[in-house]
Each structure stands twice: as structure tokens, then as C-alpha cells.
């Protein structure tokens, strides 16, 4: 009876906790003490992406731990794998978590720890389930009555905890801010009911694409925030693009926007690259929203215009009206060097090879998909786990496939015979080059306007049925 007391106390201590973060930390601590492990990691369910890494300790290398674990691959009883001990947390026949223990003080995990760890796992699973339910109930009581979004007080508390976790475990998260810029005009011209309908429709649509762990909060009538845990800047940017596109294509939103456009604008910022606290991230979001409002994409009303119509409008010709030239305008049109297109491909290939973890989307359009294109040659020996996705579009010639580059064969599209383009949308940078070669002169348009490049990329993806995200 005496020998069981420490294990019983561990189980009771777990059962007494209600805060999910505290439960997760306690689970890992108790398992490490019980099994004499110097290191450990814990994955817990709660999202649509399986079990996600929630805690780790000791000598274990963070880079060697997967972010997610497929619960279908988890055995239902504790097992040893090499020098590690893995213990599943099972509740109601469902895998709720997985504990990995390593670096045992005794040199190995003996059979004597298997049964105690299995018993502790039962209590750990029950504690995770109970704490998760409490979080769910707390969230239900902290929603805005008008829109069902969370209150700002809950959101700031959640963000504070996320900052703490991100600092402790070396993670990223993204903050997104959206504004319905035209809401005052909608309220003034169409009434308060129409304004509420615009708010609710926008939040309803965006709520369909978020994960379980993402939090949406209403800040003001016009503005709301979204926090995306464990999401880098490129992931935040892709979510932003998806959110804007989803609202734009929603039937209810379309019907409301016929009367008066919402003017939905968004901006993203990521911890820690854009700021070390909530206020800094929010300021960065709003600055990027303002950049979007001032974009040439907005000034020229390009939203929804087909890709090649955008190309023609942006390229223009020597007789076209001049583009806006406000201070700091990142877009230019005119003659470009004949070698610019090739040199840019070479430089981008060099950068992607130098920093293979850089995430982004690159589209290179050419009359022909050839093996001697600089981007293809530059990535011939590049790492196969490149973080960026590279597409080359044009007629098929001497290349069928490539370990890194994805060829997109477009036969009979005469527009590609006359044009070349390069579009890069990456982690913190964007660039676009459109050009048309003529007799003795190459006429081009190039820009680092993120919103404009996003628009071109979206319409290119739509034009040729390319994967959008």
C-alpha cells in the first residue's frame, strides 16, 4: 500500500488542476519523475491537425521534435522505441495525447515503469479532457452578443498567454487585423441593420476557415483581430489571402456588397519578427493595412480583373497614362534591360539555395518551359525539401519533370508567346516583373507592392487552376 502512495498522489494532483496549460506542464513533469527521465515531450489533441506539440523539457532537441503526430499511428499501450519510452493518453477510446520520455537516469526504461505509466496516463487523459472542456465553456461565456466573436478582454488575455508560450518554446504566432473600412457609409446610407449584417456575414465566413486553436475577437464596430498560434509570417499571409478571397466569393457577402462594398482590409504581423508584445504587433498590422489601402492594386481598381487584363493594364505602352508616382511608390513602368528577366531568375535560385527554409511562392512565365532557363538550372542541384514552391509556366519542350521545379505546360496560349513574367510572394517580401519583348526594346512593369503582387498571383492561380494556398 505504501509503494502505491506516490503514484496515487501524482494522479490526485493531476485531477485537481483545471487550467489546460498547467495540466500539460504537470503531466510532463509527473511522467518524468515517475519514470526517472531527464527529458520529455508532450503532444495533445484539440486541433484538426492531430496531436500537436504542447510541452518539452530537459536535454531533448526542439528541432528534432515533430510539430504534429498522427493519432492513428499511436499504439494504445506504452512502448519502448530505442532509448525512448512512449506513453499514449487514451480517453473514451480516443487518443488524446502522447508522452515521449528520454534520457533515463538508470540508463534504460525497465518493465517496472510500464504499468505505473499506463495508470498515470489514464488520469492524465481525464485531466486533459476536463481542462479542454473548461476552456470551451470559458470561451462560450466570453463571446460578443452581436457577432459571436470573442470579447477583446478574452483575446488580449489569450494573446498574453500565447506570447509566454512562444517565448518559452521558441515558437511563432501571427496576429491578423481586419477592418470593414466602409462600415460607417453602410450604416449611414443603408442603416444599422445592414451594418450588422455586414459584420456578421464577414465574421461568419472567416470562422469557417479557422482552426480550433485560432481565436477571433471583435475590437470595435469596424475592426476585429485573429490570433493564429504556431503560424509564421508566410502562413499568416496565406491565411489573410484566403480570408479575403473567401469573403469575396461568399454568396451572402456578394449580395450585401452589391448595395455597398464592405471595404474589407487586412494586415498581418508575426511574433517575434514584427514585435515582442501585443501592442507592437497590432501597430505593425495597422501599418500593413494602411499600405494595402495605398496600393496601386486599390488605386487602379484591379480587384477581380482577369490576370491578362491586369497584365495589359499594368504594362500599357509608351502612350498610356502615367502611373501614380507618390513618394515611395514601389511600382515602375517603362523600358527594362533585356537581361533583367534572366538575371532575376539566377539571383532568386541562388537565394533559395542559400536559404532553403525560406517559404514562398514563385511563378515564372515563359514562352517555353526549358531546361536551360536560369531558374531551372539554378535549382538543379538544390535541396529537395525547399521551403518555397516554384512553378514554371509555358509550352512543353525538353523538360518533363524536375526534383524542385513544378512545370505547368500551357499549350496554345498565345499570350505567353508575347509575354514573360516573374512573381514572388514570400516570407516578408514580394516582387513582380511583367514584360513584353519588342523590336529592339523590352517594355516592362515591376513592383514590390505586396498587395499588387498578391492580386496578380491570385488571378494567375485562377486563370490556370493552380493551387491557391
d(C-alpha 97, C-alpha 128), whole Å: 8
Q: Residue 140: which pLDDT band, with cuts at 50, 70 and 90?
A: low
pLDDT for 434: 97
152-293 CATH pick, 3.40.50.170, 3.30.70.270, 3.40.1360.10, 3.40.50.2300: 3.30.70.270
Residue pair 140/100 in contact by the 8 Å Cβ criterion? no
pLDDT band at 378 (very low <50, low <70, confident <90, very high): very high
Whether residue 371 contacts residue 398, with contact meaning beta carbons closer than 8 Å, is answered with yes
Q: How confident is the model at residue 370 (pLDDT cuts 50, 70, 90)?
A: very high
Q: Are 144 and 47 in contact (CB under 8 A)?
A: no
pLDDT digits (tens, 9 = 90+) for 154-191: 888 889 888 988 887 788 899 999 999 999 999 999 99
Would you say domain 307-463 falls under CATH 3.40.50.720?
no
* DSSP per-residue codes, 204-242: HHHHTS--TT-EEEE-SSSEEEEEEET--HHHHHHHHHH
Is the pLDDT at 145 greater than 70? The verdict is no
- Delimit the domains of the chain by residue range: 2-140, 152-293, 307-463
| 2-140 and 152-293 in the same fold | no
> 465553456: which residue's cell?
137
6 pLDDT higher than 80: no
- d(CA 210, CA 54) in angstroms, rounded, equals 19
- State how far the Cα of 77 lies from the Cα of 283, in Å rounded to an integer: 49
CB 194 within 8 A of CB 261: no
The CATH code for residues 2-140 is 3.30.450.40
pLDDT for 363: 97
Residue 210 has pLDDT above 80, yes or no: yes
pTM listed for this prediction: 0.76
Confidence class of residue 49 from pLDDT cuts 50, 70 and 90?
low
Give the pLDDT band (50/70/90) at residue 3: very low
How many Å separate Cα 292 from the centre of its chain?
19
**Residue-averaged pLDDT of the chain:** 88
The pLDDT value given to residue 404: 92
Going by pLDDT thresholds of 50, 70 and 90, the confidence category of residue 233 is very high
Amino acid at each position: 500500500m505504501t509503494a502505491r502512495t506516490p503514484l496515487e498522489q501524482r494522479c490526485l494532483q493531476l485531477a485537481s488542476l483545471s487550467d489546460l496549460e498547467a495540466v500539460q506542464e504537470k503531466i510532463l513533469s509527473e511522467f518524468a519523475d515517475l519514470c526517472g527521465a531527464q527529458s520529455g515531450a508532450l503532444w495533445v489533441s484539440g486541433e484538426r491537425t492531430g496531436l500537436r506539440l504542447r510541452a518539452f523539457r530537459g536535454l531533448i532537441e526542439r528541432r528534432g521534435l515533430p510539430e504534429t503526430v498522427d493519432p492513428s499511428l499511436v499504439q494504445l499501450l506504452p512502448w519502448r522505441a530505442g532509448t525512448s519510452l512512449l506513453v499514449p493518453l487514451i480517453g473514451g477510446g480516443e487518443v488524446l495525447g502522447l508522452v515521449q520520455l528520454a534520457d533515463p537516469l538508470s540508463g534504460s526504461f525497465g518493465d517496472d515503469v510500464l504499468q505505473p505509466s499506463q495508470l498515470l496516463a489514464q488520469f492524465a487523459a481525464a485531466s486533459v479532457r476536463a481542462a479542454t472542456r473548461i476552456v470551451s465553456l470559458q470561451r462560450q461565456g466570453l463571446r460578443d452578443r452581436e457577432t459571436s466573436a470573442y470579447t477583446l478582454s478574452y483575446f488580449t488575455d489569450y494573446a498574453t498567454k500565447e506570447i509566454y508560450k512562444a517565448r518559452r518554446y521558441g515558437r511563432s504566432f501571427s496576429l491578423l487585423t481586419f477592418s470593414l473600412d466602409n462600415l460607417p457609409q453602410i450604416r449611414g446610407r443603408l442603416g444599422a441593420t445592414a451594418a450588422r449584417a455586414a459584420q456578421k456575414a464577414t465574421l461568419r465566413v472567416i470562422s469557417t476557415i479557422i482552426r480550433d486553436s485560432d481565436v477571433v475577437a471583435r475590437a470595435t464596430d469596424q475592426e476585429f483581430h485573429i490570433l493564429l498560434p504556431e503560424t509564421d509570417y508566410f502562413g499568416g499571409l496565406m491565411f489573410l489571402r484566403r480570408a479575403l478571397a473567401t469573403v469575396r466569393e461568399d454568396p451572402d457577402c456578394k449580395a450585401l456588397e452589391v448595395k455597398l462594398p464592405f471595404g474589407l482590409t487586412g494586415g498581418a504581423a508575426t511574433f517575434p519578427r514584427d514585435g515582442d508584445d501585443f501592442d507592437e504587433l497590432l501597430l505593425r498590422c495597422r501599418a500593413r493595412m494602411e499600405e494595402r489601402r495605398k496600393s496601386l492594386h486599390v488605386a487602379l481598381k484591379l480587384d477581380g480583373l482577369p490576370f491578362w487584363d491586369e497584365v495589359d493594364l499594368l504594362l500599357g505602352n509608351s502612350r498610356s497614362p502615367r502611373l501614380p508616382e507618390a513618394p515611395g511608390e514601389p511600382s515602375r513602368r517603362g523600358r527594362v534591360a533585356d537581361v533583367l528577366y534572366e538575371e532575376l531568375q539566377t539571383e532568386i535560385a541562388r537565394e533559395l539555395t542559400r536559404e532553403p527554409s525560406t517559404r514562398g511562392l514563385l511563378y515564372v512565365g515563359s514562352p517555353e518551359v526549358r531546361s536551360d532557363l536560369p531558374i531551372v538550372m539554378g535549382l538543379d542541384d538544390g535541396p529537395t525539401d525547399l521551403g518555397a514552391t516554384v512553378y514554371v509556366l509555358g509550352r512543353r519542350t525538353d523538360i518533363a519533370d524536375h526534383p524542385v521545379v513544378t512545370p505547368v505546360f500551357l499549350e496554345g496560349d498565345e499570350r505567353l508567346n508575347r509575354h514573360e513574367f516573374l512573381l514572388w510572394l514570400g516570407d516578408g517580401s514580394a516582387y513582380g516583373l511583367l514584360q513584353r519583348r519588342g523590336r529592339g526594346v523590352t517594355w516592362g512593369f515591376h513592383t514590390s507592392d505586396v498587395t499588387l503582387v498578391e492580386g496578380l498571383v491570385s488571378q494567375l492561380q485562377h486563370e490556370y487552376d493552380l493551387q491557391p494556398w
